[in-house]
Structure formats: structure tokens, C-alpha cells
Amino acid sequence: MKRIKMGCTTLSIPAMALGIMRMNQKSVPEAQVAIQAAYDAGINFIDSADIYDGGKSEEIFGQAFSQMQIKREEMFIQSKTGIVPGKRYDFSKEHILHSVDEILERMQLDYLDSLVLHRPDALMDPEEVAEAFDQLQAAGKVRFFGVSNFDTAQFKLLQSCLSQRLMFNQLQFSLKHTGMIDFGMHMNMVDKPSVDRDSQFLDYARLHKVTVQAWSPFQYGMFEGTFIDNDGFPKLNQELQKLADKYEVGKNAIAAAWILRHPANIQMLVGSMNPQHIRDSAKGAKIRLTRQEWYDLYLAAGNYLP
């Protein structure tokens, strides 16, 4: 598995992480198979969130992982907080501290390697978040911190009050969600792709050594479905299959290789619980697409260049 530097540190993390949002749909033995498949492929990074089925995914993970032979220190385990289901976002100190305690209990852990704030809270008080982060770190409950779906200004605002460096920002990015790179290639144009909807965060991340974590790497829309083997995207699947045949892998590996080919050292979150899909996706970390192959995929996905 390809390794990348975590944020501004010298620590290395795998270029892929296993997202466990769908682990609630699995039995404990099935969850163990998925975790083991990821671990055997070099994916020793877990991404979760307290909102995933109201904590059920974390409960299943906790039961599964506690019975496995993998040592805790061999895994990097991350969770997210800040969304109150169906009601609001909440970055209050009280909510953050309480959520972490509940996450640790569900996942049967003593600490999280990373805590990520899940979607921006319009009522965020950066100083209050800083107090929560300091308390969590001092208590040994969280080692590192990050955010999810923050724009550049929101990221800067929070960072200005923290004693810790924010390591991550989770952002949607895939062959069918390319806004972070579209506007740069359509600079000085007036067409739809020229609109910057991500506040140039990818460039900011490269300048300030923030690790972007790409979620929904095989999805189109938000959660509408996968574009892999989807009849609605014939050109893209034809191109994926052509390269899959060339590199002797599956389409998931090629779609993953496309994300990892970007020089920003993006970490991709694999959300599948299918061991075969996990193993195939992991193979993408070993493939370095040519520039032409990368652009051929970009164009096959329905994008165009000025």
C-alpha cells in the first residue's frame, strides 16, 4: 500500500482508509472479514462517524475489532462528530466532549487517533472548539484533529484558535465529482466548470500541508449510487474497463488510481464492506496512470477542457 505523509507531520498513513458507514448492515463476523481484508491490503486506517446509523456502525466495529488479533497500535482509528441527526449541527464544547466519550465506548477504545468535525456549524465558536480539543488531547482521548467539508475560510478561522494543527479535511472527490479541479482548468472562462465551489481548498491544502480525504470515491451525485458498472455512464465504464484490462485489475482500482494520481497526496476513503471490492480498490494504490490515461478518464466522465 502506498503511504503518504499525514498533514504537516513526518508520520505516514496509508493512501487509503476504510470507511465504516455501512458496517451497520453487517454481522460481527462479516465486519471482521471486511476489516481483515483492508488490513491485509495495507489499509490500517479506519474512518467512522457518530452519526452512522446512530452509532450502530461503531458498535459493530467495536465488537468485531475487540475480537481480532490486530493490535490497537497497528491501526489508525478516526471518527467524526458534530451532526445531531435531523436537528442541527453542534460544535459546542459540551457536545464534542460527550460525543467522544460515547464514540470510545461504542468502539471499545481508550483513544481515537483522530477526531474530525463533521460539516461546518454556522454557530461554531472557534475558542470553544479549541477548549474541547485541548481537553481531549490532555486527557489522552484524541491524538490529532481535522474537519470535514470545510471551505478555506472556515478552516483558517478554526485553525487560528487552535494549539493543534488540523491534519485533515474530508471532501467529496471522484471521477464524477471533480469540482475541486474543474475551475482551475477553466480559469478566466464563463462556463459552468469555471465556478469555484470549493474555495480553492485543494491548492490551500498543498500549500499548508493538509491531507485531503476523498469521500464517496465511486459515487455520483451525493449518495445517488456508484458509477462503476452503471449503464448510465457507458463512456466512463468503457474507459475504466480498457485500463482495468491493461493493468490487470478491476474498475474500482482504476477509479482509485485516478484519485491517487493527483499530486496533492490525497487519502481515499473506501466505503465498501465487500472484501473483494476492498482488495481491488487497494490495488489502485500500486498503479500510476499516465497523464494521458488520467485525462482520458476525466473526459470520459463527461468533463471537457476549454
Task: Determine the pLDDT at residue 19.
Answer: 98
pLDDT recorded at residue 222: 77
Set out the domains of the chain in order of their start, with CATH numbers. 13-300 (3.20.20.100)
Supply the pLDDT for residue 282. Answer: 97
Q: In 111-187, which ranges are E strands?
A: 112-118, 142-148, 166-172
Q: What is the pLDDT of residues 162-191, one digit of tens each?
A: 999 999 999 999 999 999 999 999 999 999
Residues in the chain: 306
Residue numbers of the chain with a pLDDT score lower than 50: none
In 3D space, the residue among 133, 127, 124, 132 whose CA is nearest the CA of residue 151 turns out to be 124
What is the reported pLDDT for 64?
A: 98
What pLDDT does residue 63 have?
98
Q: Which residues are 142's β-sheet partners?
A: 112
pLDDT recorded at residue 158: 98
User: Interhelix angle for 126-138 vs 152-159, to 10°?
Assistant: 60
